[in-house]
A and B are shown apart, each in its own frame.
Chain A
Amino acid sequence: MSTNLIQPDLGAPLVRAERPMFEGADWDFRTIQRCHDECEKIAIGELGLDVYTNQIEVIGTEQMLDAYSSIGMPLFYKHWSFGKHFSRNEALYRAGMQGLAYEIVINSNPCISYIMEENTATMQTLVIAHAAFGHNHFFKNNYLFQQWTDANGILDYLEFARDYIMQCEQRYGEVAVERLLDAAHALMNQAVHKYPQKRATDLRMEEKRERERREHDEQVFNDLWRTVPGKGNARTDPTAVERRRALLQLPQENILYFLEKTAPRLAPWQREVLRIVRIIAQYFYPQSQTKVMNEGCATYVHYRIMNRLHEKGLLTDGAMVEFLKSHTNVVFQPEFDDPRYSGLNPYALGFAMMQDIERICTVPTAEDQQWFPHIAGSGDPMAVLRDVWANYRDESFILQYLSPKLVRHFGLFHVMDDSNEPNLRVEAIHDERGYRKIKQALAKQYDISWTSPDIQVVDVNLAGDRKLILHHRALNRILLDERDTRMVLQHLADLWGYDVLMKEIEPGTDAVLKEHAASPRPGIVQIEPT
């Protein structure tokens, strides 16, 4: 790790506390309160963070395992897959093969952080600094979360979802609901709007607009326009196919949304269940795009707060060493040839980048002046960081802020694996010619449109055979996993009620690389005898 120590803000006078917040590992609720208050003073007063009200919940191991399997949410509907995850986590945990997270934090207002009862007082302080201030600030301020999630309503919505699905189970049977949820879960990754939606056209608005247009035409009618030359046949009527596609808002990448609105044979409650799954998927959408930033932000914040607490004499030296040990574990990045290597650690990358921005703002080098003229030497790292945390996601953040120094520090290199070539090729390394390439390639790895397959519903003839046609644009010739795709398409066909065809298309040439097809089975929707 780089060793640049955090400089305390010059404005804040250093008053050493008479007594540390706690000594030893034991804690009680008063200790937690004190830790929170001291962290708050630093987070709000010195770092200028802006957070939701905190709610800290103390839970035991069993409850942590519970929370794990329902994607960290305190309440969730029932489904066997959560039981499966629970069983696996439990088995791993009991066998000592997997530790449990120290905390789980929920993007809600008030912001709920779970802390484990087994943690020591130092760990609780760390967790509060990390989750209750770091993540909390990020949730409240990042534009993706503001745009896509509703922190005030999520818990109420989850409660509604749980109760609704429970009622459905009572009314239509557990088996029917389970089959529907299985199918919906299989399509969950294709159930997010990646871009803000066009307002759905409803009939009355359409009519009104049509009438207004006609009135306008009548008002400005001038027969002379007819005689103006040059227009020709530029405006032809859209063909039936295009019109149909426009009506169904095709192409559509949000498959569950499409099914909810258009699938011909679903019952109203089934549409509502699809909607629930879709809304929950959308709620988690920002989290998948901000892993590096979110963890980087939280780790940077806890690092600042803990150091500051120690300077103020609120943390004992022993506690500080304990903190540093677990902090170092968290931001450890094994190298690619290390058996422990399993990809870039978002904590390590995020934390290093945040620290690097601080360094660029305070003690820039000539290189930094050249790469980051707008922030180098600005002297106010927190202002820059707050702006970064609010306005970027992983992809844009890395593209903008990965400095040559960090590329060198991590020894990043870019390897290209083309299955048509016999060997892998090193495209770029951490040198002058490589910085920009590596930055772009790394940013791409965090770009959701590169990492998740591009699948769209492109056409369906509702008046004809109702066959649903999807396209997968196989970026870089990477096809879909055959076995899984077959299973998911089967689910999709079950929901749609008619045949489904998926074509894998090579972008650019539009050549069809592969096709998958599925026909519905009876079960979710009633299939008429043909």
Chain B
Amino acid sequence: MHIVDRRLNPSGKNLANRQRFMRRAKSQIRKAVHESSGSRSIKDADQGGEVVLPSQGVHEPTLRRSSSGGIRDHLLPGNKEYIAGDTIQRPPSGGGGGGSEGSPDGEGEDDFRFALSRDEFVDLFLEDLELPDLAKRKVVNAEAVVYHRAGYSVSGSPANLALMRTVRNSLSRRIALKRPKPDELQALQDEIDALKDGSDEPRRIALEEELRRKQRKTSVIPYIDPLDVRYKRFEAQPKPVAQAVMFCLMDVSGSMTEHMKDLAKRFYVLLYIFLKRRYKNVDVVFIRHTHQASEVDEDTFFNSPETGGTVVSTALEEMQKVIADRYSPDNWNIYAAQASDGDNTASDNDKTANLLTRVILPVCQYYAYLEVGRDSEHFPPGFIRRDSDLWQTYSSIIRAGAPMAMRKVGHRRDIYPVFRELFAKKQGAEAHAE
């Protein structure tokens, strides 16, 4: 009897099969993911989880009997009252004399459920999306170092001993210096032993002399000399770490309802997941504003109420300050997303436009403006009833060709399509303008 411990065997033997399955059902899974992203809270959007596929697409057909019609025999346990000849009302489902029959493959017409891992989910979720071409990859003070193999060295730690190279060197040295091989010594010894009977004394003496010489040579020329030893050499290379900071700007004045904040939040979360995928380090800065702006933490940002007027330029000023303080554009990729209901104090519009074009946009990779509306105000995209102050202001900026995009959103189901629209692959900056 053998006991084999297989627990340490690599698991995930089925990874290849699973990938094939995913590829096969890709279009359906993608559809399911997009549908489920509408229903699940976006906070868990990157958590993976269960998706449901219609069974049709991944069905494996077999030649089997249909589940109805014909004459069928049922053998059932647990008879209590029936006697031979009784008739029983046919159960409505046609499942036979009680008990569920189910279809032979145990799957039936049910939908096929399975779980996606977080990575798989996000991959599908953000598939075909790309950050705008401008992404700059900054090296930050060689924070991370990667070691690469770089030839051999004569010194190093025993763990890095390059065995093959060492033995190869030793072999060539031994050949060059003609170190006798053990076989040769053995052969000589055998010959001497054969001559021990004294048949050819002079030859025996000559052989013994030769053997001594060779033995001396063996001891002088070592098998492995310190000269032979080589170590694998590693070279440290600084690894570029791309990092990004995401500014969330939001109007929290009284005119912003909970519903609007919720929409904005969903958009921010999507953007965060997306950035997280492209950059190793993503910082998030929350700036809220009424007639004055301040940097706050996430909870305050979304939850604590605030009253006051609406002056958008204050938020931009705050953002400018934070950038100057902590996020040098040389080292950081800067993204900004602004959510607002579009109100602004009329006198502030020029100032806002100025700040944006002169200061903010030049250092930003991307600036997205999301105008959130009331649920009831939802109307088809492209149909604009009356442009808000901010919308008009920003439209003029975009017309000038700035790296900026804006969209209107009225219902949470629109968030994801709008997000996809904004980041769809191979879309020039100018195409963002409406």
Interface residues of A (CB under 8 A from B): 29, 32-33, 36-37, 40, 53-60, 62-63, 65-66, 69-70, 78-84, 86-88, 90-91, 94-95, 110, 114, 117, 174, 178, 182, 185-190, 333-338, 341-344, 410-419, 422-431, 433-434, 438, 441-442, 444-445, 453, 455, 472, 474, 476-485, 487-488, 491
Contacts and interface: CB of A to CB of B under 8 A. Distances in A.
A453 B66 CA distance: 10
Nearest to A92: B113
Given A189-B62, A335-B77, A480-B65, A426 B12 contact: no
Contact of A428 (B2, B66, B84): B84
6 tightest A-B contacts by CB?
Answer: A335-B78, A83-B21, A83-B17, A478-B70, A87-B114, A415-B97
Contact of A188 (B62, B100, B113): B62
Contact of A56 (B1, B14, B67): B1
B40 to A, nearest CB: 16
A222 to B, nearest CB: 54
Given A55-B4, A336-B97, A411 B69 contact: no
Contacts of A426: 82-88
A284 to B, nearest CB: 14
15 contacts: A56-B3, A59-B6, A79-B17, A80-B24, A81-B60, A185-B60, A187-B63, A336-B76, A411-B78, A413-B79, A424-B88, A427-B84, A428-B84, A429-B82, A478-B71
A94 B115 contact: yes
Contacts of B98: 336-337, 341
Contact of A477 (B22, B69, B83): B69
A219 to B, nearest CB: 51
B63 A484 contact: yes
Interface string B49-81: 010000000111111111111111111111110
B181 interface: no
A249 to B, nearest CB: 20
Interface in B79-114: 79-80, 82-90, 96-100, 102, 112-114
B148 interface: no
Given A84-B112, A344-B77, A479 B70 contact: yes
B181 to A, nearest CB: 41
B70 A412 contact: no
A95 B115 CA distance: 9
Given A33-B3, A84-B21, A190-B63, A336 B73 contact: no
A86 B14 contact: yes
A270 B282 CA distance: 52
A174 B16 CA distance: 12
Contact of A36 (B1, B74, B102): B1
B67 to A, nearest CB: 7
Given A63-B13, A343-B99, A488-B63, A414 B74 contact: yes
Contacts of B69: 419, 477-479
B22 to A, nearest CB: 7
Given A83-B19, A341-B99, A481 B82 contact: no
A3 B319 CA distance: 81
A501 to B, nearest CB: 14
B14 A485 contact: no
A109 B96 CA distance: 42
Contacts of A334: 78
**Most chain B beta-carbon contacts within 10 A, residue among A84, A480, A483:** A84
A453 B65 contact: yes
B-side interface size class: 35 or more
B23 interface: yes
Interface in B1-32: 1-7, 9, 11-14, 16-25
Contacts of B74: 414-417, 424
Contacts of B85: 425-426
A335 B70 CA distance: 25
A62 B75 contact: no
Contacts of A54: 1-2
B14 A66 contact: yes
Contact of B65 (A415, A481, A488): A481
A433 B17 CA distance: 54
Contact of B84 (A69, A338, A433, A480): A433
Given A70-B13, A412-B75, A416-B71, 17 more contacts: A53-B1, A60-B11, A63-B7, A80-B20, A80-B24, A114-B6, A186-B61, A414-B75, A415-B88, A423-B87, A424-B74, A424-B88, A442-B75, A455-B63, A478-B65, A481-B66, A484-B61
Nearest to B80: A411
A121 to B, nearest CB: 14
Contacts of A182: 60
B70 A419 contact: yes
Nearest to A30: B3
B64 A58 contact: no
A428 B84 CA distance: 5
Given A56-B3, A422-B90, A481-B65, A410 B71 contact: no
Nearest to B83: A429
B4 A56 contact: yes
Contact of A416 (B6, B73, B77): B73
A78 B2 contact: no
A337 B7 contact: no
Given A178-B20, A426-B87, A88 B82 contact: no
A453 B64 contact: yes
A479 B60 contact: no
A403 B4 CA distance: 43
A58 B61 contact: no
A270 B83 CA distance: 56
B66 A482 contact: yes
A352 to B, nearest CB: 11
Nearest to A97: B113
A417 B96 contact: yes
A514 B86 CA distance: 33
A441 B84 contact: no
Contacts of A412: 75-77, 79
A348 B87 CA distance: 28
Contact of A55 (B2, B9, B72): B2
